[in-house]
Structure 1
Amino acid sequence: MRGFWAALPTEGRWLLSTVVITTFGRGLTLPFTIIYLSEVRGFDLGFSGLLMSLIAVTGLIVTAPSGALTDRFGARAVLLASLVSMIAGCTLLAYATHPLTATIAVCLIGVNFGASWPANNALIAHVVDGELRQRYFGVNFALVNLGIGFGGIIGGLFIDVADPFTFTLIFLIDAVSCFVPIALLLGPLRRVHTVPAPVEGEGPAASVGYLHLLRQPAVRWMTLLSFLAVFVGYGQFEAGFPAYARGVAEVSTQTIGFAFAVNTAVIVLLQFTVLNRIAGHRRTRVLIVMALIWTVSWMLLGTAGLLPGSWAAVAGVLAFTGVFAFGETLMQPSIPAIVNDLADDRSRGRANAVNSASFQAGAILGPVVAGLLLDHGLSGIYIAVMVAGCLGVAVLALVLERRLPAHANGVPAAAAASPAAE
């Protein structure tokens, strides 16, 4: 870690130093938003669920324009606008007693979610390059989980459904936490410009449109791989997994809560070791290993469903989240590094927007499929679909490898130039 920190440029250190603080506020509110809407503000559960999905839908809608704006005006400008939207949304939601107010609030939060991903990744990729970029994305992911996990623990201990002010306070804290990155962008990072400077005697550098990006086979296969990985991964982890664990494996809500803590702990503890192990290896091969690890995790969860209400079921549920987290530590450094190494400063905002859209589409479709299968008692088919999806990710990674330039696949320059690499 000391060597990694020493190798980072000053701007990279500034960016990384505030991740835990920023995500702590998000961790305070994310696990409890639907509880707040339904049990504190009195909205019915169906409408509360619709509001939660509206965050993802709004994010998906604004992702493409945000990528284009990032390429045109720079990542800083888009990030600042998205943070202002988040502050407004959290503040409004803290006092939302009317459905319309809550709807506007979650849409503002969704704008932040959709705009911040392509802009933030573009900013990171501009500041950090080479092999260091992959390590940065991995460390950033570990710190995001640390901040969200710590926020979730504190929120769980602090909030009280009988006292609405406790919920108001955590949303206000979430809003205040956004001022930290704003200060960073207006202060130490104010001179970071992600838009390429025009060459003397030429006009501004022409941006690369979405159609141009999607004509590249590597981009198309990468987008499909990301979608399927999220569909069987994060799209299930926050919806299908808890529903299966509670309704099929019949474990307690305390077990499910502890399972999420296990997931965060494994990521934080293993990410640095994993980064050392995968350095210099083909990223597509790393993704194949991730897919196989996730296959094992879903089999463990399926085993838990065969022994409902038992200690073996509890062990299976906890093992699922731990093994799944191991796969996450392989995925999170690899996919953003591939996406950003395929792009340049003219197209990085759009490239990250395409990848963000595939992530969000998988996260939206995943819970729908899980709900349909589990609601009809098709738990065995549900596990089979997840296992097949994981194996599909491995196949897509093999297909992608044949279309991916060596530098984007993390192959060292010397190895890429050798006859064996060819």
Structure 2
Amino acid sequence: MGAAMRRIQAGNVLSAFGLGFTVPYLYVYVAQVRDLGASTAGVVLAVFAMAALAVLPFTGRAIDRRGPLPVLVGAALLAAVGAVGMGLAGSVPAVVLAAALLGAGTAVMQPALATMIVWCSSTSTRTRAFAMQFFLQNLGLGIGGLIGGQLVDESRPGSFLLLFSIEAAMFLVLAGIAGTVTMPRTPSITDPRPAAEGGMRALLGHRAMVQLCVLGFVLFFACYGQFESGLAAYGTEAAGIEPSTLGIALAANTAVIVAAQFLVLRFVERRRRTRVIAGVGLIWAVAWLFAGYAGLGHGSQAMATAAFITTYGLFGLGEAMLSPTVAPMVADLAPESMVGQYNSAFALVKQLALAVGPAVGGPMGAALHGPYIVTFVLFSLGITVLALRLGRKLTPAQDHPYLVARSRVVAQHKPDQRVAV
């Protein structure tokens, strides 16, 4: 990695480290520690998501006009203010306002960081750059959550103030590191599509990107949108999983991602991206079948627990395969002057899936156990179908950049086969 990329990745892992301190405990903090009730905690979580949905439609154009660097710094400062406000908030209006600032800031950071990675990488290095980002994010979240769990004490509100203060400090560190980054180049407008009237109109007219967004919604809806809602409810209600086991399952998910990320990278980058995504759909279908066995298989409790943890592990394997695949594809589909808008549009799709997923999966996982499993097995198989259909819309450079780059290298170094007479 170049100096700019190293600093971007360092800021990325530190901000994830800060988020890990507070994300697992936000509901408990609002409902119990501040004694504002479960309904207020639900509103806070909803505001956190809605703030992201409110700002993302405007983020991409700001990134493309001003550059990702000032947008990232502003978002990090906004998130830091929200984190401090959350730690000090003692009333409903204060905690809701803090949640809005924190949600908006963290949402804007995602496409800004992604665009900086695109600017600091080439088509041949982008796959590994995004794999590294995903690896470091999970590592930071896991370590932050582990340390935060040792510091938190529900009987001492001051311990939560410490957690939110550490989170704010990490956001300030991210802003400071980002401020020292010298971007290697400024994208030039070389594609005729940016001249189309209206950035969003041009994006919606790009059929391959629209198909990728649909695929992305199904991906996030069928996986991330179920982790802490539908799948957790299903595990406790249908499979009899202890709440503490949910933490073990999430730890298994993170462990598989950290262990498998670079093991699968060479396999992934040498194959067509859409076929890798199609394979993820099949892996996740098997994961949901394991979950079905855990809750509906009538085996022993030990077998049900092992099957449920395996479900989370298989999800982690799929995530490790997606990280070097989906985000680079978004970048390679984007015209050079619209990278920020494409990244923001895909982040918006992710947020929509994360908002809809719990609303649909939560009630189904708690009460409709059989239909819940069948529904998400079908959604996983739908990922495979959508990925294969998307592959027909992509150029070889977009779907299999490794092969294209290798072909160019071979062409450049092809020996002269003329024979002297």
Normalised by the length of structure 2, the TM-score is 0.92
Give the 4+ runs in structure 1 shifted more than 6 A.
414-417
Equivalent in the alignment of 2:277: 287
| Residues 189, 337 of structure 2: 8 Å contact kept | no
> Aligned runs of 1:112-261 on 2, under 5 Å?
112-187=105-180, 189=181, 191-192=182-183, 195-196=186-187, 209-261=199-251
| Residues 119, 187 of structure 2: 8 Å contact kept | no
SS in structure 1 opposite 2:336? coil
CA distance in structure 2 between the aligned counterparts of 1:349 and 1:271, rounded to whole angstroms: 26
CA distance in structure 2 between the aligned counterparts of 1:309 and 1:97, rounded to whole angstroms: 46
> Aligned runs of 1:258-269 on 2, under 5 Å?
258-269=248-259
Q: What's the offset of the Cα at 1:88?
A: 0.5
Q: What's the offset of the Cα at 1:374?
A: 3.2
Equivalent in the alignment of 1:391: 381
CA distance in structure 1 between the aligned counterparts of 2:242 and 2:26, rounded to whole angstroms: 21
Equivalent in the alignment of 1:3: none
CA distance in structure 2 between the aligned counterparts of 1:179 and 1:20, rounded to whole angstroms: 13
Equivalent in the alignment of 1:4: none
| Residues 274, 387 of structure 2: 8 Å contact kept | yes
Q: Are 2:102 and 1:109 equivalent residues in the alignment?
A: yes
Q: What's the offset of the Cα at 1:195?
A: 4.8
Equivalent in the alignment of 1:44: 37
Q: What's the offset of the Cα at 1:132?
A: 1.2
Q: Are 2:346 and 1:358 equivalent residues in the alignment?
A: no
| Residues 72, 195 of structure 1: 8 Å contact kept | no
SS in structure 2 opposite 1:148? helix
Greater shift after overlay, 208-217 or 29-38? Answer: 208-217
Q: What is the letter of the counterpart of residue 321 of structure 2?
A: L
CA distance in structure 2 between the aligned counterparts of 1:169 and 1:410, rounded to whole angstroms: 47
Equivalent in the alignment of 1:333: 324
| Residues 230, 363 of structure 2: 8 Å contact kept | no
CA distance in structure 1 between the aligned counterparts of 2:264 and 2:252, rounded to whole angstroms: 17
Q: In the TM superposition, what whole-angstrom CA distance separates every residue of 1:186-228 from its partner, at most 9, and x where no partner exists?
A: 22x1x327753689xxxxx868601101111101100000001
Equivalent in the alignment of 2:414: none
SS in structure 2 opposite 1:108? helix
| Residues 249, 309 of structure 1: 8 Å contact kept | no
CA distance in structure 2 between the aligned counterparts of 1:140 and 1:380, rounded to whole angstroms: 36
CA distance in structure 2 between the aligned counterparts of 1:46 and 1:298, rounded to whole angstroms: 31
CA distance in structure 2 between the aligned counterparts of 1:311 and 1:299, rounded to whole angstroms: 17
| Residues 235, 295 of structure 2: 8 Å contact kept | yes
CA distance in structure 2 between the aligned counterparts of 1:21 and 1:415, rounded to whole angstroms: 35
Count of residues in Structure 1 that have an aligned counterpart in Structure 2: 402
Q: What's the offset of the Cα at 1:166?
A: 0.5
**Root mean square deviation, CA, Å:** 1.8
| Residues 34, 52 of structure 1: 8 Å contact kept | yes
SS in structure 2 opposite 1:170? helix
Q: What's the offset of the Cα at 1:280?
A: 2.2
Q: Are 2:47 and 1:54 equivalent residues in the alignment?
A: yes
CA distance in structure 2 between the aligned counterparts of 1:308 and 1:211, rounded to whole angstroms: 53
CA distance in structure 1 between the aligned counterparts of 2:393 and 2:406, rounded to whole angstroms: 17
SS in structure 2 opposite 1:97? coil
Normalised by the length of structure 1, the TM-score is 0.92
Q: In the TM superposition, what whole-angstrom CA distance separates every residue of 1:133-185 from its partner, at most 9, and x where no partner exists?
A: 01111121011101101111111121010111101100010000112221112
CA distance in structure 1 between the aligned counterparts of 2:405 and 2:56, rounded to whole angstroms: 37
CA distance in structure 2 between the aligned counterparts of 1:18 and 1:77, rounded to whole angstroms: 14
Greater shift after overlay, 69-78 or 272-281? Answer: 272-281
| Residues 287, 312 of structure 2: 8 Å contact kept | yes
Q: What is the letter of the counterpart of residue 349 of structure 2?
A: S
Q: In the TM superposition, what whole-angstrom CA distance separates every residue of 1:337-393 from its partner, at most 9, and x where no partner exists?
A: 100011133000100111111111111111011123234x21110011110001111
CA distance in structure 2 between the aligned counterparts of 1:17 and 1:88, rounded to whole angstroms: 21
Q: 1:96 to 1:282 in 2, by over 3 A?
A: same
Q: Are 2:405 and 1:408 equivalent residues in the alignment?
A: no
Q: 1:231 to 1:401 in 2, by over 3 A?
A: same
Equivalent in the alignment of 1:99: 92
Indicate the percent of aligned positions where both proteins have the same amino acid. Answer: 32
Equivalent in the alignment of 2:418: none
Q: What's the offset of the Cα at 1:333?
A: 1.4
CA distance in structure 2 between the aligned counterparts of 1:404 and 1:179, rounded to whole angstroms: 40
| Residues 124, 405 of structure 2: 8 Å contact kept | no
